[in-house]
Amino acid sequence: MIRTITTLLLFQTIGEGIAFALSLPVPGPVIGMVLLFIYLVVAKGAVDKLAPVSLELLKHLSLLFIPAGVGIMVHAQRVAAEWLPIALALVASTVVSIAVTAAVVRALQK
């Protein structure tokens, strides 16, 4: 378990370091996830080692939304002042996500 969590945090840290060092507009955890994906594709046995603990972490994923909810409550005035751009971004990203998911499912069914 410690090894899996260390591996996940290592890739996140590497992603953060790359994003900071290169001043990239992409968040570090996203870069870390891409690097982790590449690692899982290249290292054949890595999936079997990371899967059990990763699945246990996913069972408790809802706990990770607590800080986001607190952040929204702390910045409630700003959210209220900028509700229209936030709502438009949420609707647009939802539509794009549904469209991309439909396209991927359709492509995989062929």
Instruction: Provide the whole-model pTM.
Output: 0.60
Domain segments of the chain as ranges? 1-59, 65-110
Q: Region 28-45: what's the mean pLDDT?
A: 90
Model confidence over 47-102: pLDDT tens digits?
888 888 888 888 888 887 888 888 888 988 998 999 999 999 999 999 999 999 99
DSSP assignments along 78-106, one per residue: HHHHTHHHHHHHHHHHHHHHHHHHHHHHH
Model confidence over 6-23: pLDDT tens digits?
888 899 999 999 999 999
